Amino acid sequence: MNIMTYQTLLYYCYSPIENAEQFAADHLAFCQSLNLVGRIIVADEGLNGTVSGTQESCTAYMEAVYADGRFNKTEFKIDDVDEPSFIKMHCRYKSEIVHSGMRNPKEIDPNRQTGIHLEPKDFLEMKDQDDVVVLDVRSNYEHTVGRFKNAVTLDIENFREFPEKIKELEQYKGKKILTYCTGGIKCEKASALLLKEGFEDVYQLHGGIIKYGKEAGGEDFQGQCYVFDNRVTVDVNSVNPSIVSTCRNCGTTTAKMINCANPVCNEHFTQCDACGVELDGCCSDVCKEHPRKRQYDGTGYYVKVPQPVNAEKISKRKHKQIIKGS
C-alpha cells in the first residue's frame, strides 16, 4: 500500500495586510524554513495560496496562519498527495490576490458585500431548480476540462475579463445565480461584482469545487477539476464521474491537459497520450519544429523559466513614461 506522507493546502483569506510587500518577503522565508513548496500571492487585501510539503510542515504552517489574528478565518482545503505538488516556493506581492480587471479594485470588498455562501450540500439541493442558473466564473482552459452539468460558462482567458462579460448575463437577472470556482476565491469577487451590477439573488459555492468534491462527492461535476500546481487536474466526482474534454488534435475523449512544449507558445490544452507522443508534447507540427522546444516527458508540465528580455516592449514603456512626464 502506498502511504501518502505529503499534503497540498489550498486556501485564501481576504483580510487587510499592512506593509504587505514586506510581509510577502518575510512569509517566503518562513515557508522556506518549513521546506514548503508552492505559490502564494500577497496583497493589501489578503492572501491566496497553494503550498505543499510533509504533513508536519503543513500542520506547522496552518497553525502559524491561524495564530495570526488577521487570518484566523482561513479555511484550508487539504489533499493527501504522494509527492509535493510544486518544485519551488514562490511568495509574491501583487496589487490583488485575484486580478478583478477593474480600474479601481477597491470598489468591491468581499468583506463588506459578497454572494451568500452555500455549503456543498445546499448547492447540491439548489443547483437543478428551475429558477437557478449555475455560473462558472473560471477561465476557458479550466471549464474545458471540467464543469458542472448545465453550467453557464464564459469565454474568458483570465478572470480579469469577467467584468466585461457581466452584460452577457443580463438575461438571468430574474433568477438565482449560483457561482462556483476551484476553491472559492474568484467567487468572492465575481458575486460582489454581480451584486454591484444589479443582480439580486447571488450565491457562491463555499470552498469551491474542491470542497464540494470532499463533502458532496462531486455529484454532477463533469470531467476533472483544474488545479494550479503540477498535478494539473484532479478527480472530484466519486458519484457519477465522466469525461467531457477531447483531444485538441484528434478529438479522442481525454482528460489530460498539458502545456505546449514550445515555450514561446506554451498554450494550455487537452491532448491524448497518442498525440502527445506523435507531436512530442506540442499543439502543432509548427511548434514541434521550434528550436526552443522543451523536452517532453509525458506530463506536459514544465518549470517556469525566465524568458528573454523584450527590449522593444521596454523601450515602448519608457517612451510612454517620458510622454506622460512631459
What is the residue-wise DSSP string for 206-273? TTHHHHHHHHHTTTTEEE-EE-SSTT-EE---SSS-----B-TTT--B---EEE-SSTTT--EEE--H
Rounded to an integer, the average pLDDT of 212-221 is 98
Q: Are 227 and 278 members of one domain?
A: no
Domain identity same for 140 and 228: yes
User: Which cell numbers in the block locate residue 236?
Assistant: 472530484
Q: Look up the domain containing 30 and give its range.
A: 6-93
pLDDT of residue 313: 37
The CATH number assigned to the domain holding 23 equals: 3.30.70.100
Q: What is the mean pLDDT of the chain?
A: 91
Number of domains in the chain: 3
Model confidence over 59-82: pLDDT tens digits? 999 999 999 999 999 999 999 999
Q: Which of 326 and 305 is assigned the larger pLDDT? A: 305
Are both 131 and 216 inside the same structural domain?
yes
Does 26 map to a domain? yes
Average pLDDT over residues 101-120: 89
Is 204 within a domain?
yes
Domain assignment present for residue 89? The answer is yes
Q: Which long-range contacts (CB under 8 A, 24 or more apart) does 275-281 make?
A: 275/247, 275/248, 275/249, 275/250, 276/300, 279/249
For position 125, which CATH number holds? 3.40.250.10
Residue 320: pLDDT over 50: no
Residue 102 is predicted with a pLDDT of 83
Residue scoring higher pLDDT (1 or 158): 158
The catalytic residue positions are 181
**For 34-53, how does the pLDDT look when each residue is reduced to its tens digit (9 = 90+)?**
999 999 999 999 999 999 99
Whether 29 and 60 map to the same domain: the answer is yes
Q: Is residue 283 part of a domain?
A: yes
Residues with Cβ within 8 Å of 18's Cβ and at least 6 positions away in sequence, in order, are: none
- Does some domain include residue 99? no
227 and 251 housed in the same domain: no
> What pLDDT sits at residue 116?
98
Q: Kindly tell me if the per-residue pLDDT of 156 is higher than 50.
A: yes
Domain boundary among 202, 234, 266: 234
How confident is residue 314, by pLDDT bands cut at 50, 70 and 90?
A: very low
Predicted structure pTM score: 0.87
Label the pairing between strands 202-205 and 146-148.
unpaired
The per-residue DSSP string of 53-105 comes to EEHHHHHHHHHHHHHSGGGTT---EEEEESS-S-SSEEEEE-S-SS----SSG
Residues 128 and 230 both lie in one domain: yes
Residues in the chain, how many?
326
| Judgement on whether residues 120 and 167 belong to the same structural domain of the protein | yes
Q: What is the mean pLDDT of residues 296-304?
A: 84
Do 19 and 51 lie in one domain? The reply is: yes
My answer on whether 189 and 291 are in the same domain is no
Return the pLDDT at 151. 98
Looking at the structure, tell me whether residues 15 and 83 fall in a common domain.
yes
